[in-house]
Amino acid sequence: MVSRISNAFIGCLLLISFISSCASAPPSKKEVISPDLHFKEVESSKQLRAMNEMILVNSFSRKGDPYRDYKIGPDDLLEISVFDVEKLNKTVRVSSQGNISLPLIGTLRVKGLTANELEKEIRQLLAEKYLQDPQVSVFVKEYRSQRISVIGAVEKPGVFEVSGQKTILDLLAMAGGLKEDAGQLLFLIRPSSNSSAPPLEEAAAQRGERAEPGLPIPQTFVIDLGDLLVKGNLTLNVPLLHGDLLNIPMSGKIYVAGEVKAPGGFPIKGKSITVGQSVAMAGGPTPKADGPETKIIRYAGKEKEILSVNLDAIQKGEEEDLVLKENDIVMVPKSGRKAFFTELWEFLKGRVGSVALGTL
């Protein structure tokens, strides 16, 4: 009996000890969010909403006349009418070279013209020799089908079949807008078979690139989405061509563009990446690269800073290899001299190869 009471008493003591230890245990710490971090997240969310609103507004504003500024291109079918001169009325398809053939006028280059511009040109040519004050009408009866791709931090990435003139904002709207982790920059990658549109040259000039006279500008173009969507700089809303690819990398990256073998965005979080390392990550410079004229484009808030570096000297260890910051763009331009000799060498190699094969 005494043994049972003793055991019960010991059990009570253990229970009281367990309860008291639980009561005295310090409360678990709650995760503390930095006010600065919370503020940045709120501001980033506001900016993303503003960007997506701009994309939607542009999409709705173009509904009334989506083809007003359409540039005529290969495979378009044109219906051309001259008032009171039925023999000159013609439906003609644009050739792969961008030309059409018309009675009295002959071969006419129409690629890159709007319907209104073509009307004026035909009117002027007919008025010079054949008709007095001709009334000309040009109607695009069939638009060529174009395939434009959108990848990266958008809601619905993919390949889009489009007709008529489309711009960056049009394709961003078709892709459902930007995701929350979208970066500040958009890369437009254009196949070398496509000619460069004049607005792209203006955009390149704004980024501090040098355009070599008589040579095509690099086929990778960098568009600042903040300038386009927040500041409303619509000169950056460039027309797109068949085969173009839009890439919107996630934030927390550095970017390498221009004359490198694999341009794009590369993660930088938790890493220290230099100019030389970034170019190596992009596959290294191409033979046409102008290393001494390499630029770093850096954004600090709304301000843009352009730093000049000598990539060739960095690779030789003769110049300091600068550490990059998040969202920095390393732009490696094209050298006109190197491009000439590289293309000449490729031509000569092809000729020598043909001769060698012919002797076998």
Q: What is the CATH number of the domain that holds 113?
A: 3.30.1950.10
Claim to verify: residue 267 and residue 356 sit in the same structural domain? yes
Query: What is the pLDDT confidence band of residue 355, given thresholds at 50, 70 and 90?
Result: very low
Claim to verify: residue 230 and residue 192 sit in the same structural domain? yes
pLDDT at residue 280, rounded to an integer: 94
Q: Could you tell me the CA-to-CA distances from 213 to 191, 210, 217, 221 in Å, in that order?
A: 20, 9, 9, 18
Domain with 322 in it? 253-360
Q: Please state the rounded mean pLDDT for residues 2-31.
A: 48
How many CB atoms are located within 10 Å of the residue 137 CB?
Answer: 14
Claim to verify: residue 298 and residue 245 sit in the same structural domain? no
Q: Which two tokens stand for residue 267?
A: 């993660």
The domain total for the chain is 3
> Bigger pLDDT: 190 or 44?
190
- Asked if residue 212 belongs to a domain, the reply is yes
Q: Among residues 251, 280, 313, which one ends one of the domains?
A: 251
Claim to verify: residue 128 and residue 151 sit in the same structural domain? no
Among 28-37, 260-269, 298-307, 316-325, the minimum mean pLDDT is found in: 28-37
Percentage of the chain exceeding pLDDT 90? 33
Query: What is the pLDDT confidence band of residue 221, given thresholds at 50, 70 and 90?
Result: confident
pLDDT at residue 335, rounded to an integer: 83
Query: What is the pLDDT confidence band of residue 217, given thresholds at 50, 70 and 90?
Result: very low
pLDDT at residue 302, rounded to an integer: 52
Position 348: which residue type?
L
pLDDT at residue 129, rounded to an integer: 86
Q: Among residues 198, 225, 251, which one ends one of the domains?
A: 251
pLDDT at residue 344, rounded to an integer: 56
- Asked if residue 35 belongs to a domain, the reply is no
Claim to verify: residue 166 and residue 238 sit in the same structural domain? yes
Q: Could you tell me the CA-to-CA distances from 23 to 9, 18, 20, 28, 31 in Å, in that order?
A: 21, 9, 5, 13, 22
CATH of the domain at 286: 3.10.560.10
Q: Please state the rounded mean pLDDT for residues 335-360.
A: 53
pLDDT at residue 70, rounded to an integer: 80
User: Taking 90 as the threshold, does the pLDDT of residue 274 lie above it?
Assistant: yes
DSSP assignments along 126-160, one per residue = HHHHT-SS--EEEEEEEPPEEEEEEEESBSS-EEE
Claim to verify: residue 264 and residue 240 sit in the same structural domain? no
Claim to verify: residue 222 and residue 270 sit in the same structural domain? no
- Asked if residue 169 belongs to a domain, the reply is yes
Claim to verify: residue 263 and residue 203 sit in the same structural domain? no
| Strand-pair category, 303-309 with 245-248 | unpaired
Q: Please state the rounded mean pLDDT for residues 205-214.
A: 45
Query: What is the pLDDT confidence band of residue 44, given thresholds at 50, 70 and 90?
Result: low
Claim to verify: residue 104 and residue 168 sit in the same structural domain? no
- Asked if residue 98 belongs to a domain, the reply is yes
User: Taking 90 as the threshold, does the pLDDT of residue 110 lie above it?
Assistant: yes
Query: Average model confidence (pLDDT) for the chain?
Result: 77
Claim to verify: residue 241 and residue 263 sit in the same structural domain? no
Q: Residue 324's closest CA among 279, 289, 286?
A: 279
Q: Among residues 126, 142, 158, which one ends one of the domains?
A: 142
Among 40-49, 161-170, 265-274, the minimum mean pLDDT is found in: 40-49
> Which residues are 289's β-sheet partners?
334
Claim to verify: residue 360 and residue 293 sit in the same structural domain? yes
Query: What is the pLDDT confidence band of residue 208, given thresholds at 50, 70 and 90?
Result: very low
Query: What is the pLDDT confidence band of residue 254, given thresholds at 50, 70 and 90?
Result: confident
- Asked if residue 10 belongs to a domain, the reply is no
- Asked if residue 233 belongs to a domain, the reply is yes
- Asked if residue 68 belongs to a domain, the reply is no
> Bigger pLDDT: 146 or 346?
146
User: Taking 90 as the threshold, does the pLDDT of residue 149 lie above it?
Assistant: yes
Q: Which two tokens stand for residue 286?
A: 């191409």
- Asked if residue 6 belongs to a domain, the reply is no
Claim to verify: residue 157 and residue 136 sit in the same structural domain? no
For residues 41-69, b (16+ Cβ closer than 10 Å) or e, as one string? eeeeeeebeebbebbeebbeebeeeeeee
